[in-house]
Structure 1
Amino acid sequence: MKFREYTLYMAWIVAVVATLGSLYFSEIRGYIPCELCWYQRILMYPLSIILGIAAYNTETSIKKYVLPLSIFGGFISLFHYLEQKVPGFASIKPCTQGVPCNIDYINWLGFITIPFLALIAFTLITVLMILTKSEK
């Protein structure tokens, strides 16, 4: 199957788009990242470099390093999204200083927020890593 030969490249593209998107929102649009946003960035930014190097060298063994970052990042994004959209989660308040984590800078179609976009990116990377053909 040809698709599985390109999953490493696709995961790299997702990570690069997510990284550039977060930089666009903060550096060009001027949205100040909250604490949970920073945690998501800490997990996404290295994936852009790690997956790029792995895709260039066709190193599928990188899965064991990428999956923990993408899964953990997905959980943080999910929690952040729930904090924005579910009233019961707003009382947990992990962001005690600076920008509140429940602020919606964007709210496209009533449900697409920045943490939702990050959740989609982490989920895509996780699925693509699971589908990546392992070396024999």
Structure 2
Amino acid sequence: MNGMSAQSSWTLLFLAFAVALASSLAVLFVGEVMGQVPCNLCWFQRAFMFPLAIVLAVAAFRSDASAWIYGVPLAAAGWLIASFHTLLYLGIIPEAIQPCTASGPSCSSADMTILGGVPLPALSLLAFSAIIVFLALARRRSTS
């Protein structure tokens, strides 16, 4: 891999790491500082985002463009959960199967939005999508 391609891959890996870190810190802020208890689906998304921050930090530090091999499966699993959660939030999936409103905390309240009404599940979906795109681009740049 030439120097320009290596720098480009590192930048993309760093961007993927930055998204994972910002997402992890944001949900910790919402939960620990703002006192909002996450629903079950939020916990599952966190279970995939938190390790991504660590894995992608190591990948960026090492300029390891092969990080997509272990990063994309984590991000894809989180993406699937975030997609399901977003569909629940938007009411596309029937209320009868909504796990985050049956008992315990709910993501359907207005205080679970940010940036003027964007729901947290949609932000999670966006974050996982961005990570997947950055990792795919890093892989592409490292093989060209």
- TM-score normalised over the length of structure 1: 0.88
Q: In structure 2, do the counterparts of structure 1 residues 88 and 135 end up closer, same or farther at CA, with 3 Å as the change threshold?
A: closer
The structure 1 residue matched to 2:83, chosen from 78, 90, 103, is: 78
- Percent identity reads 34
Task: Specify every segment of 5 or more residues in structure 1 that has no aligned partner in the other structure, as ranges.
Answer: none
Shift of 1:64: 1.0
Letter paired with 2:31: S
- Report what 1:113 is aligned to: 119
| In 2: Cα distance, 1:50 partner to 1:4 partner | 15
Q: 1:23 aligns to what? A: 28
* Alignment length (residue pairs): 135
2:19 to 14, 27, 47: 14
- For the residue of structure 2 that corresponds to 1:98, the secondary structure is coil
- Contact 1:36–1:80, Cα closer than 8 Å, also in 2: yes
* Cα distance per residue 1:91-120 (max 9 Å; x no partner): 21234542135444333444x111111111
Aligned 8 A contact 1:14 1:121 in 2: yes
C-alpha spacing 1:129/1:99, structure 2 compared with 1 (3 Å) = same
Partner Cα distance (1:135, 1:51) in 2 = 19
Letter in 2 for 1:81: T
What RMSD in Å do the two structures reach over aligned CA positions? 2.0
Given that 1:11 and 1:129 are in contact with CA atoms closer than 8 Å, whether structure 2 keeps it comes out as yes
Letter in 2 for 1:115: P
Q: Deviations over 1:9-49 (max 9, x none)?
A: 10000000000000010001110000000000000000000
Q: Unaligned 5+ residue runs, structure 2?
A: none
CA–CA distance in 1 between the matches of 2:9 and 2:58? 18
**Is residue 35 of structure 1 aligned with residue 40 of structure 2?**
yes
Find the partner of 1:98 among 84, 89, 104: 104
Structure 1 residues 104 and 134: alpha-carbon distance in aligned structure 2, compared to 1, 3 A threshold: farther
Which has a greater percent of helix?
A: 2
Q: CA deviation at 1:62?
A: 1.4
Q: Which amino acid aligns with 1:134?
A: S
Q: CA separation of 1:100/1:5 partners in 2, compared to 1, >3 Å: closer, same or farther? A: closer
Inter-partner Cα distance in structure 2 for 1:102 and 1:5? 38
**Alpha-carbon distance in 2 for matches of 1:80, 1:105:** 16
Letter in 1 for 2:44: Y
